[in-house]
Amino acid sequence: MPRRVLEGNVVSAKTDKTVTVLVERRFMHPVYKKYVRKSDKYAAHDEQNMFKEGDRVLIEECRPMSKSKRWKVVEGLGAAAGRKAGEGVPAGVKAAAEKVAAAPKKAAKPKAEKAPKAEGEKKEAKKPAAKKPAKKTEE
């Protein structure tokens, strides 16, 4: 029997040799005929701890490795594909962070001050809403 292969995003890489992968799928609802999104989380084995949060990966069904792990990471897609084991931050993210840090900061614009009111001017008071006449009850 062929092994299932799913594609998803890594949402957690906190545990050793394990990543949590969020897999989303779309299907048409049988009654309402609208497309519905359903997501599932899978614990997948990552032997070299090379995948980080936000990476897109392919996971494949495998033998049970622990109480909750029945999947292993086959390969990384996108930014994770070029990463070697042990590298923490993708090169593109690192370069972008350095670029932002090197950019000069913009000075804050001073707020415009309001012109002072003349002595004779007073703040207009709001008029109370007109009261509706009470309904008279017949005796």
In this prediction, residues 29-34 reach a mean pLDDT of 97
pLDDT at 90 (0 to 100) = 46
The enclosing domain of 10 has a CATH number of 2.40.50.140
Residue 72 belongs to a domain? yes
pLDDT of residue 86: 52
* pLDDT per position as a tens digit, 36-79: 999 999 999 999 999 999 999 999 999 999 999 999 999 998 76
Rounded to an integer, what distance in angstroms lies between the CA atom of residue 103 and that of residue 63?
50
* Residue at 98 is within a domain: no
Report if residue 129 sits inside a domain.
no
Mean pLDDT for the chain overall: 80
DSSP secondary structure string for all residues of 16-84: TTEEEEEEEEEEE-TTT--EEEEEEEEEEE-TT----TT-EEEEEE-S--SSSEEEEEEEEEGGGGGPP
Per the DSSP assignment, residues forming a β-bridge with 77 are 56
- Determine, yes or no, domain membership for 10: yes
pTM: 0.57
Provide the pairing of β-strand 18-28 with 35-45: antiparallel
Residue 70: give the domain boundaries.
Answer: 5-83
Do the domain assignments include residue 54? yes
pLDDT of residue 35: 97
What share of the chain has pLDDT > 70, as a percent?
65
Percent of the chain having pLDDT more than 90? 52
